[in-house]
Amino acid sequence: MPRRVVAAARWLFPAYLVVLALIVFLPAREAGRLTGVVGWLALQVGKLGIPVDPAYVVLEFTANIVLFLPFGLLATIAYPRLRPVLVIAIGFASSVVIELVQLAIGCAPAAEGAHPRLPLVL
C-alpha cells in the first residue's frame, strides 16, 4: 500500500471515529435531525404496503452495518499489519460496546423515539 494512502487513512480514521461517536451517542431527537433517513425510508416503504415496523428494524440493522464499513476499510488501510480477523473482532466489539453504552445512558434510538411510530421521550 502506498505511504500516502496509509497516511491519509491514518488521518481519516480518527475523523471517522469522531463522526461515528456523534451519530451513535447523540440523543435520538438530535441524531434524528442528522440521521432521520432510516425513519423516513421506513415510512416510504410503508407507502408501498410493507409494514413500517418490520421495515424500520431491517433498515436500522442495515444502517448499523453500513455505518461500520468505513471502520474496517480505514483500519485495514491505516494499520496494514493488523490481521483482518482482528479488525473484524475490534469492529464487532466496538459495536457491542456502543449498543451497551447507548442502553446504559439512555440514548438508544428505541428508548428515545427514533422509531417513526414511537413518541419522543421528553
C-alpha cell at 114: 427514533
How far apart CA 108 and CA 26 sit, in angstroms, is 9
Q: How many Å apart are CA 71 and CA 95, to the nearest integer?
A: 11
SS3 94: helix
pLDDT number for residue 33: 64
pLDDT at 14: 94
Mean of per-residue pLDDT scores for the chain? 81
User: What is the Cα–Cα distance from 22 to 17, expressed in whole angstroms?
Assistant: 9
The pLDDT value recorded for residue 8 is: 96
pLDDT band at 110 (very low <50, low <70, confident <90, very high): very low
Mean of pLDDT values over 92-98: 89
Q: Tell whether the model's pLDDT for residue 116 goes beyond 60.
A: no
Q: Quick check: pTM over 0.75?
A: no
Phi, psi of 8 (to 5 degrees): -65, -45
